[in-house]
A and B are shown apart, each in its own frame.
Chain A
């Protein structure tokens, strides 16, 4: 198996945790996995990318134009990283924006969801889900990063049970209930 997943979003959304859960799921299934993370300066509320590569690969970074799936926890972040995508890429995009200060101050404009959708239309398919709302319904907006994992397991060969088991192993017990609900909600939100 080979699968390249690019996770993008905003510092603080828990993308590193999402990647850790995916990596553990792969480890448990005996699949090789490599990830590349953003640390330091870039984490202070800035734009964040994590590469998760499954299978027999060596480079920690996904080659340009080669992501099988892009998971964006924030809509404009999907636009920022399309150099890793191609016509063969499937995207999962959370529809809840996080407005950057540049927009609040009036220095930049936040594009409409319609514009984002139109610009991403060259991809193989784009699944828009309100992951933040689904996470809130599951009990906490902090679980947005897990909702998208549920959706990811629906459309890829990543086994749902393996992701669920990895989630339990990665997160502290008091967070299990909400996050298991969030994972299921994400899985149910997409059609296979």
Chain B
């Protein structure tokens, strides 16, 4: 909890992401920038509140940026001016920011700069499980990976020092099971500091990345990385634990926790190299560890990153890893996965028959009806997708490129309103491309935050190239999926300050879109009518479907002490079941063959009453 993050000292219970935020505060951060994305979002949320609460004690600047590239640029600029800065994002956000990051590596950091990448092995909330340690290797940047919530805090602080010691941007890699794990953390004191603007010192020989400069800087960068590689062989975040036998374990990041527990369950005590610096790989330390061993078991999540390196530097060493089938190439690890891998390498049996346990689990789970995530009761996106489905059914067929956010759930029955989902902003680019090659009408959907994040360049592209499609902007006035952060379209900003709300419709008109209409998402009739009109428009048509996120709506009503008057299904119902088969509200379900509304869940959006052909759904008396 926030009050624990802000405590002066002592032992507190922190979420992994809160611990990273605390580490940044202990380091005396000056500038923080982020675009939210699971599992990274709570870092920004914590620092947004901390920025407000610590005014006058520990002053720093914090913003939610329009996207990850902008976030890295904002934080990079602070570093160039000598300030300590951090940018945080989910793993795929680093792809968006990568262009900036690669040049920044050459230019180098002045004030400490930390990029937090929150990877998502097993893809709990993501489109892929890319292993962002590769960014360290390809961009030539150090990568640090903690193994516990305590280390998440300590390493976050350490990364600033590392960055300043070698004048280089540093990547801190966390992942779902660490970012969303909570544990007891011993705090270090918070510094008292003010925030003052400084004079801009020009340094074009470094900061202007012309080819001539870049050629020189590349050599410098490689030299820095070599020094850091040597430093990591002595750094106390990596260590060797003595054990028994001639096979050792190299345990990376959180896999250290799994490996330690797995060995305890197996009743073995192998020598362990606990590795927290993923790149540059400390060759000397690995050589020292392997010198007394016949083989090493390498435990690391997602890609065989360390494994391939160890195979390259020690070709004679027996290696048990992913590439030879001791560990899986996909999905996150856990104690069972690691225990099975170690047992196989040692030729012993695991402590339990995990396969049998999983098999029985699968069998019982198959009896449980699926419960995938759904639109919340009163979600305006559900209303918009209902209207889109009506229009598509009338048109016969349509291509429906979608995007990233809560509204990706529009893929589900009965809406089936999402044909493609690729990455942030791709709905618009895909719509552009499809308009060249398909005969069917196209209705693309994108959320408000995603529209500003990466939708804008594609929309300009569509207008300029004379494309024809409908773009529905699902504007719920927040970044919903990640926990309701502000975005450029709303009047609040990070750190509790007021932001200027940029109007989506004005942006679209300014870009040259000639058909722009704004409709209340709950007004199904108007929405259907507007979409039909938009489909007839010869060009790009933008329909902004606007209604506040139902979770925010409920919270605001509660804060004002207002009670909603829920709807109820009256005796006029003729059991046509269209409210259930054509619209899917979790507050509306079937008992004994009759639709019923759960009064505790209903937030009185009234959409079900509007779509009921018998007008049988009315506010409860």
Comparing A109-117, A150-158, A183-191, the segment that makes contact with chain B is A109-117
Interface assignment of A175: CB less than 8 Å from any CB of chain B: no
Report B-chain residues with C-beta under 8 Å of the C-beta of A24: 13
Contact status A34-B581, CB under 8 Å: no
Report A-chain residues with C-beta under 8 Å of the C-beta of B369: 76, 100, 102-103, 107-110
Q: With the chains together, A115 CA to B257 CA distance in Å?
A: 38
Chain B 17-40 interface 0/1 with A at a Cβ cutoff of 8 Å (1 = within)? 000000000000000000000110
Interface assignment of B609: CB less than 8 Å from any CB of chain A: no
Chain A interface size range: 35 or more
Name the residue among A11, A45, A57, A76 with the largest chain B CB count within 10 angstroms.
A45
Q: Identify the closest chain A residue to B581 (Cβ).
A: A105
Interface assignment of A130: CB less than 8 Å from any CB of chain B: no
Q: With the chains together, A59 CA to B256 CA distance in Å?
A: 9
Q: With the chains together, A102 CA to B584 CA distance in Å?
A: 10
Contact status A23-B580, CB under 8 Å: no
User: Do most interface residues of chain B lie in helix, strand or loop, or is the interface mixed?
Assistant: mixed
Q: Identify the closest chain B residue to A45 (Cβ).
A: B374
Given A46-B371, A82-B360, A23 contacting B13 (CB threshold 8 A)? yes
Comparing B50-58, B173-181, B292-300, B341-349, the segment that makes contact with chain A is B173-181
Report B-chain residues with C-beta under 8 Å of the C-beta of A34: 149, 181-183
Name the residue among A24, A46, A77 with the largest chain B CB count within 10 angstroms.
A46
Chain B 534-555 interface 0/1 with A at a Cβ cutoff of 8 Å (1 = within)? 0000000000000000000000
Contact status B352-A44, CB under 8 Å: no
A10 touches which one: B177, B254, B371 (CB < 8 A)? Answer: B371
Q: With the chains together, A82 CA to B124 CA distance in Å?
A: 20
B14–chain A nearest beta-carbon distance, Å: 10
Contact status B180-A115, CB under 8 Å: no
Q: With the chains together, A20 CA to B12 CA distance in Å?
A: 12
B38 touches which one: A41, A77, A109, A111 (CB < 8 A)? Answer: A41
Contact status B368-A102, CB under 8 Å: no
B581–chain A nearest beta-carbon distance, Å: 7
Report A-chain residues with C-beta under 8 Å of the C-beta of B13: 23-24, 27, 33
| Cβ < 8 Å to A, chain B residues 391-420 | 406, 409, 413-414
Q: Identify the closest chain A residue to B256 (Cβ).
A: A58
Interface assignment of B589: CB less than 8 Å from any CB of chain A: yes
Contact status B183-A41, CB under 8 Å: no
Contact status A11-B373, CB under 8 Å: yes
Q: With the chains together, A32 CA to B186 CA distance in Å?
A: 12
Interface assignment of A173: CB less than 8 Å from any CB of chain B: no
Q: With the chains together, A37 CA to B181 CA distance in Å?
A: 6
Interface assignment of A80: CB less than 8 Å from any CB of chain B: yes
Report A-chain residues with C-beta under 8 Å of the C-beta of B265: 63
Contact status B373-A46, CB under 8 Å: yes
Q: Identify the closest chain A residue to B147 (Cβ).
A: A58
Given A60-B178, A101-B584, A46 contacting B372 (CB threshold 8 A)? yes
| Cβ < 8 Å to B, chain A residues 33-74 | 33-47, 57-61, 63-66
Report B-chain residues with C-beta under 8 Å of the C-beta of A108: 369-370
Q: With the chains together, A44 CA to B147 CA distance in Å?
A: 29
Contact status B182-A63, CB under 8 Å: no
Contact status A42-B373, CB under 8 Å: yes
Q: With the chains together, A58 CA to B376 CA distance in Å?
A: 35
Interface assignment of A165: CB less than 8 Å from any CB of chain B: no
A59 touches which one: B1, B11, B261, B584 (CB < 8 A)? Answer: B261
Contact status B335-A42, CB under 8 Å: no
Report A-chain residues with C-beta under 8 Å of the C-beta of B149: 34
Report B-chain residues with C-beta under 8 Å of the C-beta of A27: 11, 13, 184
Q: With the chains together, A184 CA to B180 CA distance in Å?
A: 30
Contact status A105-B370, CB under 8 Å: no
Report B-chain residues with C-beta under 8 Å of the C-beta of A124: none
Given A63-B336, A99-B589, A104-B590, A40 contacting B38 (CB threshold 8 A)? yes
Contact status A59-B334, CB under 8 Å: yes
Contact status B368-A79, CB under 8 Å: yes
Contact status B368-A80, CB under 8 Å: yes
A189–chain B nearest beta-carbon distance, Å: 22
| Cβ < 8 Å to A, chain B residues 363-391 | 364-365, 367-376
Q: With the chains together, A103 CA to B41 CA distance in Å?
A: 33
Contact status A33-B38, CB under 8 Å: no
Contact status B258-A45, CB under 8 Å: no
Q: With the chains together, A47 CA to B178 CA distance in Å?
A: 20
Pairs across A and B, CB under 8 Å, 15 listed = A20-B1, A39-B39, A40-B39, A41-B38, A60-B177, A63-B339, A66-B352, A77-B368, A80-B365, A100-B370, A101-B589, A111-B367, A116-B367, A119-B367, A141-B600
